[in-house]
Structure 1
Amino acid sequence: MEIGISTFVETTPDTVTGEVISHAKRLRNVIEEIKLADEVGLDVFGVGEHHREDFAASSPAVILAAAASQTKNIRLTSAVTVLSSADPVRVFQDFATVDGISNGRAEIMAGRGSFIESFPLFGYDLHDYNELFDEKLELLLKIRDSEKVTWKGKHRPAIDHLGVYPRPIQNPLPVWIGSGGNPESVIRAGRLGLPLVLAIIGGSPMQFAPLVELYKRAAAEAGYDPDTLPVASHSHGFIAENTETAADKFFAPTQYVMNVIGRERGWSHYGRATYDAARSFEGALYVGDPKTVAEKIIHLRKNVGITRFMLHVPVGSMPHEDVMNAIKLLGTEVAPIVREEIAKWEKGQ
C-alpha cells in the first residue's frame, strides 16, 4: 500500500486575513513540502497542472525537477498532466529529465483535465476534447516504448523516424491514467495495461468499487494480469492532532475553493453540513486525527481495491506550517497504521 500527497499548489486568499500568497512563495513552499514528505517516508508526491491565477503549478515537471535533487526515495509524479493540450514529445522529454535527475523516480499521470483554461491558451478547440487525448496518449506511449518514432495524427505534425531524448532510467517510464470516474477512461486504461488513478472527491468512495472491477476486467480481456496493475485514489483531506481541530482548520479554505469552482460549473452551495457529511466514515473527505484517517484509508483499500492513496492537501490556501504538520502526521502516524493493517489483511487472504 503506497501513501502520498498531491497538490495543485494553490494560491487562494487566506480565509482569515484575505491575503494571497505570491506564486513564487507558494512554489518555494511546495518544495519544502516534497522534501518533508520524503523525509517522513511517504511513497509519492504529485503536482497537478493548472493555468489560472489561483494555482501556481502550470509546469509540474519543473517543480518536480527542483525537488528531485533534494529528495532521495519519494516518487515524483504529475497529478495530472493535461495531455490533451500538451505536446507528448515535450511531456516525455520533461519527465525523462526528472527521471534522470531523481535517479529513476519520475512518473507521468496523464489526464484530459477537468479545467479547460489550457485549451484556448495553447490553441486547441474544446470540440476536440476527447479526440485530442486519445491521439496524444497514443503518441506518448509510442515515444515511451521506442527511442525512434514514426507517427502520424490529426492534431500534431507527423514524426518520421526521429529520436526523442533524453531516455529515462526507468524502462518503461510509468504512465498512469487519471480519471474522474468516467467508465470509458477506466476501460481505456485497462485495455492499455496502464495504472489507474481515480479522483474520489465526492459521494461515497464505495461507489468506485464497480469502476475498479470494470478496469480489471478490461485489463484481463486485453491480456494483462489485473493483479499487477496498481489503482490509486486522489482524495481531499487534512490531518491534525485531533479531529475537531482538523475539521475546523480545513473547512473554510475548502469551502472557498468548492464555491468558486461551483459557481463556474453550476454546483450548489458548499456549506458546513455538506462538509461534515463528507467527513463521515463513508464520505470522501479524509479529515481527522491520524487514527480516523488511517481507518478510512484501510476501509478504502479493503472495499474498493485502492493500492495507492494520495491525500490532496490543502484544497484552498492554508498556513504552510499546518500543511507541513499534516504531511508529517501522514508519514509518521497514519502510514505505519495503514501499512501494518493491510499487510496483515493481505497475508490472511
Structure 2
Amino acid sequence: MKEKSSMELGITTFLHTNPEHGSVSPAERLRQAIEEIQLADQVGLDVYAIGEHHRIDYTSSSPAVILATAASTTKRIRLSSAVTVLSSDDPVRVYQDFATLDVLSKGRAEIMAGRGSFVESFPLFGYDLNDYEELYEEKLELLLKIRANEKVQWSGGHRPAINNMGVYPRAEQDPLPVWIATGGSPESAVRAGKLGLPVIFSIIGGMPERFAPLVELYKEAAKKAGHDPCKLQIASHSHGFIAESFEIAAKNYFPVMAEQMNKIGRERGWAPYTRDTFKEACNLRGALYVGDPEYVAEKILLAQEKLSLTRFLMYVDFSSLSHLELLRTIEFLGTKVAPIVHKELARK
C-alpha cells in the first residue's frame, strides 16, 4: 500500500468494441489493450484493470489471459480484474488463473471480486439468478480459503465439495490481493470491512461524496472485526477523459458518454442522457473526471479527501473514442495528473 501522503492511480477498461456499428474489431481491440497496458506502465501509472464481460460489445471475457500477455512486456504496473464476476465462476479456477498471472508478472496480480453489473454470465455458465446473493457469498468464502491454504477442505451448496485437495500454482504474493468491488451496497461495504479486505466503489453517477457513509460503514466494520484501520485500502472507479483543455475534453466526450449511457439506459429503463446531465457530472463535485489535467487532478484530490481514497481508477474506454485518444488520456493521467496529485498529498 502507498504511504498516506500518496495514492495509486490507474486505468480500468472493458475493451469496448461495439461491432454492430462497425467500430474496431475484437481482435484489434485486444491488441490495442496490450499497447495501452505498456504505455500505462511506461508513464508510471500503478494499476491497469480489465472488467470481465460476456457481451458482443466488450472483448473482455478473459481478463487474466489478456493481462498475462502484457506481463512480460511491463515492469511495475499492477494487473487486475475489474471485476471478476465471482458468482458465475469457479473460485478454484479464478485463483489458478490469477496465481499464474502473479507468477508470470513477478507478484503484480490482483483480483477485484464482484457480482457484476451485467448478468449474462449467469445463464451462460448455468447459474440461477435467484441464487445471486448466495452464490457470491459462498464463492467468496471459497476463494479466500484457497488463497489462505495450499490444501483446501470445503463444502457448500452450489459447488462440489473439496476434500483436502491442493490448488496450484500458488501465487507469488502471500496473500494474493483480493478486493471487494461494489456499486454502492452497504452490505458489501460491511462485508469487506469484516473481512479486512480492500474495497473499491464504482461511482458512475451523482456525487462521489455520497459514498462517504459507505466508507464509514466499511471502516467501522473493519475496526469491530479487529482490523487495523490504518491498513485499510479504499478505491473508486469512475469514467474519465483528459485533453489539452476542458472545452476540448467536454466536446469530444459528451457524444461518447451519451451514446453509451443511452444504450444501457434502453436496456434498464433509464431516462435519456442529456447535455445537462453531462454538464452536472463534469462539475467539481460530479462523478465524471473530464477536463484538462489540472482540473481532473483537482477532482481526484477532492474525492480522495471525501472518501479517504488510497487508489483512484479511471475508466477511459468506449468504442467511439479512437485508440489515440485513449493513449493520450493514459499519458496525461500518468505524466500530468499524477504528479499534481502526489505533490498535493505530500503536503498533508
Give me the TM-score of the superposition, normalised by structure 2. Answer: 0.97
Query: 2:200·2:236 contact (CA, 8 Å) conserved in 1?
Result: yes
Counterpart of 1:81 (choices 74, 81, 84) is 84
Equivalent position to 1:6, from 12, 16, 19: 12
Unpaired runs of 5+ residues, structure 2, are: 1-6
Match of 1:184 in 2: 187
Q: Distance in 1 between matches of 2:19 and 2:284?
A: 30
AA matched with 2:47: V
Compared CA separation, residues 125 and 166, structure 1 to 2 (3 A): same
- Choose which of 272, 291, 296 in structure 2 pairs with 1:293: 296
8 Å CA contact 2:54–2:61 kept in 1: the answer is yes
User: Bigger shift: 47-56 or 311-320?
Assistant: 311-320
**Residue type of the alignment partner of 1:2:** E
Q: Which residue of 2 aligns with 1:208?
A: 211
2:258 pairs with 1:255? yes
RMSD, aligned α-carbons? 1.0
Q: CA deviation at 1:314?
A: 2.1
In the alignment, is the contact (CA less than 8 A) between 1:257 and 1:316 conserved in 2?
A: no
Counterpart of 2:336 (choices 316, 333, 342) is 333
Asked if the contact 1:13/1:317 (under 8 Å) is kept, the reply is: no
**C-alpha distance in structure 1 between counterparts of 2:184 and 2:200, whole Å:** 9
1:76 & 1:55 partners in 2: Cα distance?
19
Deviations 1:37-74 (A, max 9, x none): 00000000100000000100000000110111110000
Name the amino acid aligned to 1:7: T
Alignment correspondent of 2:245: 242
Task: Tell which deviates more after alignment, 267-276 or 133-142.
Answer: 267-276
Distance 1:7 1:126, change over 3 A: same
Q: Could you tell me how far apart the structure 1 residues matched to 2:289 and 2:19 are? A: 23
- Shift in alpha-carbon separation, 1:131–1:159, aligned structure 2, 3 A: same
Partner of 1:138: 141
| 1:8 counterpart letter in structure 2 | F
C-alpha displacement of 1:13 = 6.0
Aligned counterpart, 1:128 = 131
Which secondary structure state, in structure 2, belongs to the residue aligned with residue 237 of structure 1? strand
Equivalence map 1:305-344=2 (5 Å): 305-344=308-347
Picking from 57, 65, 69, the partner of 2:72 is 69
- Structure 2 contact 19–56 (Cα < 8 Å) conserved: no
Which one of the candidate residues 18, 22, 38 is aligned to 2:25? Answer: 22
Contact 1:254 1:316 in 2 (8 A): no
> Structure 1, residues 94-149: CA drift from partner, whole Å, max 9, x if none?
00000001000000000011100000000000000000000000000000000000
Cα distance, 1:317 vs structure 2: 3.4
What is the rounded CA distance, in whole Å, between the counterparts of 2:240 and 2:311 in structure 1? 15
Letter in 1 for 2:166: G
TM superposition outliers: structure 1 runs of 4+ over 6 Å: none
SS at match of 2:68: helix
Question: Residue by residue, what CA displacement relative to the aligned partner does 1:234-275 show, whole Å, maximum 9, x if unpaired?
Answer: 010000111111111111121111111111111100111111
Name the counterpart of 1:170. Answer: 173
1:161 to 154, 161, 164: 164
Q: Does 1:225 align with 2:228?
A: yes
- Measured after TM superposition, the shift of residue 312 of structure 1 is 0.4
Q: Secondary structure at the match of 1:236?
A: strand
8 A contact 1:49–1:80 mirrored in 2: yes
Q: Percent identity?
A: 63
Aligned length: 342
Paired residue type of 2:12: S
